[in-house]
């Protein structure tokens, strides 16, 4: 690397005739030379300590000014131009956490216009393998990263959790390619239907697509739960539609203001917040489980048919997996029977596991790991896989009865994500009202959740 000149040094230069340009005696005079030498000795004797002090101070100042780490004297490797730019950003930002993730290397995915997804490849059976290509976006390249998922902004320093990719057994999972994805969805409308984890998935896709075209916000409701973005160049509309249970549900209130912590769920009625838009959707990415882990009374045909976490006499006790199964069945039946939804493609996304360790979310549970875990290290419990199994069963059931024109796929991420406890925000989610509580449910952006869109692109390619 070319060295930087010392900023306060000066260089001597000779004039054209070789003279020194002295003043006070004619050139060549013996008196001039003697007096000049005496004067110079006096000046140098008095000025030398000052010059040495100035040189020392300037050297130290310059070292601290230009060294990225003045207390580490290990020789630095030769830097590329990109690394120099990143270093300058760090120096300008100091310890500002807003700029921490600018050191994440970005590498666009390779374009594979002729790559075909192997039809017989089991995408979701495999393992995580090291991949040092880095993240595919950051704060600067994706300004829509929500604050609560912006882990680097809130002080997360480790980055190794970004250096992994999913490797299916026996085949290769192509990394998300925004150009190829836009080629699939051009002129279409896609909606993510579900809870805040569905929103998390939507936000990952928004960031990945924004590397090709900047989206334009078209709609946001007052609660910021339902949003619409438009990609004009590709005539593509991307939505997220909020629903807790897919079916209609109500929260019981005390004095109309305070939650009683109990919900009533109606298994024979869908949540119209999303169902009324079905006819306008070309792609539906459907999910939703996390809200079922609470006290819920289940209604069908105007009768209470069961309850979750109630232990009430004369009321049948239901477990979470059966309630999830029945709610998803109602949603998939509605889509399959929709006469106006002639060519709708539906992808069922399975349960995204949380990773609280040493407690629950409200009892000191944390998720502090910095890399993938082995499956034996994770106490998954039966609920995670039992819920996933019921979701897959409902997908298989509706696929056997699929009506003409419609297509169904499954995004089976449960086992894939079970071994990624390192991908959650943990304490780095910036909630001022819940300091000390860890978010081990949602996923950092960028992060392991981005692989969901690698899977999504592969699934949509198969279903075309």
Q: What is the pLDDT of residue 31?
A: 35
Report the distance separating Cα 448 and Cα 166, nearest Å: 9
Q: What is the pLDDT of residue 43?
A: 42
CATH of the domain at 205: 3.40.50.1110
442 given a catalytic annotation: yes
Asked if residue 328 is part of any domain, the answer here is: yes
User: Residue 395: which of 457, 461, 454, 463 has the closest Cα?
Assistant: 463
Length of the chain: 464
Candidates 271, 422, 439, 450; catalytic one: 439
pTM above 0.85, yes or no: no
Asked if residue 254 is part of any domain, the answer here is: yes
Q: What is the pLDDT of residue 160?
A: 95
User: Residue 352: which of 221, 197, 179, 164 has the closest Cα?
Assistant: 197
Candidates 201, 263, 424, 442; catalytic one: 442
Q: Which helix (H) or strand (E) holds 38?
A: helix 30-66
Q: What is the pLDDT of residue 134?
A: 87
Candidates 196, 319, 383, 389; catalytic one: 196
By residue range, what is the domain housing residue 333?
115-463
Asked if residue 232 is part of any domain, the answer here is: yes
For strands 126-130 and 164-168, give the pairing. Answer: antiparallel
pLDDT in tens, the chain (464 residues): 433 332 323 333 333 333 333 333 333 444 344 444 444 344 445 444 444 444 343 333 332 233 333 323 223 233 334 333 433 333 333 333 333 333 333 444 444 444 455 567 899 999 999 999 989 999 899 999 999 999 999 999 999 999 999 999 989 999 999 999 999 999 999 999 999 999 999 999 999 999 999 999 999 999 999 999 999 999 999 999 999 999 999 999 988 777 888 999 999 999 999 999 999 999 999 999 999 999 999 999 999 999 999 988 899 999 999 999 999 999 999 999 999 998 999 999 999 999 999 998 889 999 999 999 988 777 766 789 999 999 999 999 999 999 888 999 999 999 999 999 999 999 999 887 787 899 999 999 999 999 999 999 999 999 98
439 given a catalytic annotation: yes
**What stretches of 266-402 show up as alpha helix (H) in DSSP?**
272-275, 320-337, 381-400
Angle at 156 between CA 174 and CA 194, to 5 degrees: 55
How many Cβ atoms are within 10 Å of 224's Cβ, its own excluded? 10
For strands 236-242 and 227-231, give the pairing. Answer: antiparallel
**What is the side-by-side order of every strand in the sheet holding 283-286?**
216-220, 227-231, 236-242, 189-194, 283-286, 345-349, 407-411
Q: What is the pLDDT of residue 56?
A: 40
Q: What is the pLDDT of residue 380?
A: 61
Asked if residue 378 is part of any domain, the answer here is: yes
Q: What is the pLDDT of residue 155?
A: 93
Q: CB–CB of 450/417 below 8 Å?
A: no
196 given a catalytic annotation: yes
Q: Domain total for the chain?
A: 1
Q: What is the pLDDT of residue 417?
A: 97
Q: What is the pLDDT of residue 105?
A: 37
């Amino acid at each position: 690397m070319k060295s930087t000149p010392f900023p306060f040094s000066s260089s001597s230069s000779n004039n054209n005739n070789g003279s020194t340009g002295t003043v006070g005696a004619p050139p060549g005079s013996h008196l001039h030379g003697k007096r000049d030498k005496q004067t110079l000795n006096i000046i140098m004797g008095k000025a030398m300590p000052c010059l040495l002090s100035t040189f020392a101070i300037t050297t130290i100042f310059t070292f601290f000014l230009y060294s990225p780490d003045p207390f580490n004297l290990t020789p630095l490797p030769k830097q590329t131009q990109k690394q120099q730019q990143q270093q300058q950003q760090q120096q300008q930002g100091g310890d500002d956490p807003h700029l921490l993730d600018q050191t994440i290397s970005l590498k666009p995915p390779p374009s594979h216009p002729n790559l075909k997804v192997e039809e017989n490849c089991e995408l979701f059976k495999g393992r995580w393998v090291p991949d040092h290509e880095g993240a595919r976006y950051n704060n600067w390249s994706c300004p829509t990263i929500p604050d609560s998922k912006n882990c680097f902004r809130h002080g997360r320093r480790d980055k190794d959790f970004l250096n992994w990719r999913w490797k299916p057994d026996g085949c290769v999972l192509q990394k998300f390619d925004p150009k190829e994805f836009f080629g699939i969805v051009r002129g279409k409308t896609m909606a993510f239907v579900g809870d805040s984890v569905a929103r998390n998935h939507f936000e990952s896709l928004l960031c990945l697509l924004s590397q090709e075209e900047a989206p334009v916000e078209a709609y946001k409701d007052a609660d910021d739960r339902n949003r619409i973005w438009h990609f004009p160049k590709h005539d593509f509309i991307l939505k997220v539609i909020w629903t807790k249970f897919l079916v209609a549900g109500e929260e019981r209130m005390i004095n109309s203001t305070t939650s009683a912590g109990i919900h009533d769920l109606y298994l024979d009625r869908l949540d119209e917040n999303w169902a009324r838009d079905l006819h306008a959707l070309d792609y539906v990415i459907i999910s939703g489980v996390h809200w079922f882990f609470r006290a819920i009374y289940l209604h069908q045909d105007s009768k209470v048919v069961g309850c979750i976490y109630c232990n009430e006499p004369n009321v049948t006790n239901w477990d979470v997996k059966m309630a999830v199964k029945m709610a998803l069945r109602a949603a998939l039946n509605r889509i399959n029977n929709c006469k106006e939804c002639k060519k709708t493609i539906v992808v069922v996304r399975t349960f995204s596991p949380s990773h609280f360790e040493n407690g629950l979310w409200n009892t000191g549970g944390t998720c502090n790991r910095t890399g993938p875990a082995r499956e034996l290290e994770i106490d998954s419990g039966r609920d995670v896989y039992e819920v996933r199994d019921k979701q897959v069963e409902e997908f298989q059931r509706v696929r056997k009865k699929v009506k003409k024109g419609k297509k169904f796929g499954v995004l089976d991420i449960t086992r894939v994500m079970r071994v990624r406890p390192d991908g959650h925000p943990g304490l780095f989610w910036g909630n001022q009202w819940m300091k000390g509580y860890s978010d081990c449910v949602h996923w950092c952006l960028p992060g392991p959740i981005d692989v969901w869109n690698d899977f999504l692109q592969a699934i949509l390619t198969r279903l075309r």
